[in-house]
Structures are given as structure tokens and as C-alpha cells.
Amino acid sequence: MLRFGMLRISVVIFSLLFIASFASADVYKYVDENGVICYTDAPFGKKTEKVIAQNPQVENAPVVFQSDYNHYIQKAAQKYEIEPELIHAVIKTESNGNHRAVSKKGAKGLMQLMPSTASDMNVGNPFNPEENIEGGTRYLKYLIEKFNGNVTLALAAYNSGPKTVEKYGNIPPISETQQYVKKVYALYNGKKNYGVSEPAPPREQPAVIHKIILEDGTILFTNSTLDKRAKIRS
């Protein structure tokens, strides 16, 4: 009777998840150690089964997270001069807004930072939304500058690593990376290039022109003195 009662509760929960999540997120099913059927919006262990797939027709809808990270996103966007919409799209693609997400390769948090990247970006706790967004945006800015403002290559590098993108000189022929870039762009409709400008070359100093009066009174302008006895005027 206990299991039956809990099963009924889980069915009710599933119904609510179905109504709330059908148009916006995946729904997964698993059975816990008590035999209770549970439903969640994120994978849970190896025996999780996806029962509802995200509706592809709403990919262009505004990005909405279960928690409000907008303040952190706006703060990082302003600091690193990146459109907040791009940060939203990366977070949605990387973790679907789950700040506790961990990938098979060990990437963590909202923007799925690998341990080495988190360390390089001074992120102490990758599961802290503010730290993760700060570090992830900083890394994204680094990649945009590395690839001369090309957002497409920066996104490809965010997924597969900058060395892989440098090797091919374009989006690598890796299915996961290609799909990743497409999904981010499906959510983001902003600039495709940030136009990182090259530093201006140093200006040449104008040559010094000397005015020289020769012994016969002739005035001569030159960039060097002709005779120590000549009268030099600036």
C-alpha cells in the first residue's frame, strides 16, 4: 500500500511536470531504491530514461531558467563587454540552467567549466552561480579575442578547445561541436563578430629640420648640419 500510494504521488508529480515542462524542457524517468517511479527535468544516474524530449519548435523562445541568474549575467556581460543574450544562450546549451550540472568529462556548473579552466579563471566554486558565470564569461571573452572577434570560432573553441579550432582553422568536423554551435545560435540572435581591432601602429616622429645660414647668407633647410661653423636655428 505504501508503494502504491507513493506511485500515485509520483504520477501526480509527473502530470505537473508534463504540463509545466512539455514545451520547455526534457523530462526523465527513473525508479529509486524503494521501487518508486520518479520524474525529473535532469538525468539522474545510469538508469534514467528520457520520456519527453524538448520541443524543437520553441528553441527560439526567450531563454528562461528555473532560478534567476539575470543579475549575475548582466554584471558579467557589462564587465566583459559581451551581449547578455550570448551568455544566456551558452548557459542554456551547456547546462539548461542547472547550476549543479556535471558532465561525463567533469565540466561543472551553469557554464560547464572544466577544472583546469575554472582554475585559470579563478573560479573557486564552480557550483556557485555567480562565480561560474563570471569565470565562464571571462573565458568566452578570452576566446573571442583569441579568434579576432569571431564568435563562431569562439563558441566552437568553448566546446572542443581552442587548440582543436586552431588545428582546423574553422569549426572542427566534430558532430558534437557543430551541433553545439548551431544550438547556441538558435537561441542567440545577436552579433556574429565582435570586431576586435588590432592595435594601431606607433606613429613615426617627424624628422627634425634645421635652418642653416651659410657664410654667404644663403638660407638652407636640411635634416642634418653641414658644417659646425654654420649657424643653426630651430
pLDDT tens column, 72-113 = 999 999 999 999 999 999 999 999 999 999 999 999 999 999
Cβ-based burial of 112 (10 A; exposed 0-12, middle 13-18, buried ≥19): buried
Task: Give me the mean pLDDT over the 23-46 stretch.
Answer: 62
Q: How far apart are CA 64 and CA 66, in angstroms?
A: 7
What was the pLDDT predicted at 63?
A: 56
Distance CA 176, CA 47 (A): 23
- Output 149 or 229, whichever has higher pLDDT: 149
Which listed residue (59, 81, 94, 166) is catalytic? 94
Helix%, strand%, coil% for the chain, nearest 5: 45, 10, 45
Separation in Å, CA 101 to CA 22, 26, 34, 91, 105: 21, 14, 25, 11, 12
Does 23 score more than 50 pLDDT? no
In this prediction, residue 195 has a pLDDT band, given cuts at 50, 70 and 90, of: low
198 flagged as catalytic: no
Q: C-alpha cell of 62? A: 526567450
Average pLDDT (123-128) is: 96
As given in the structure block, the three cell numbers for residue 95 are 547546462
Q: What percent of the chain lies above the pLDDT cut of 90?
A: 51
Are 128 and 120 spatial neighbours (Cβ–Cβ below 8 Å)? no
**Residues whose CB is less than 8 angstroms from the CB of residue 130 and which lie 6 or more positions away in sequence, other chains included:** 72
Q: Is the pLDDT of residue 223 over 90?
A: no
The predicted structure's pLDDT at residue 216: 77
Question: All domains of the chain, ordered by start, with CATH?
Answer: 2-58 (no CATH), 70-187 (1.10.530.10), 205-234 (no CATH)
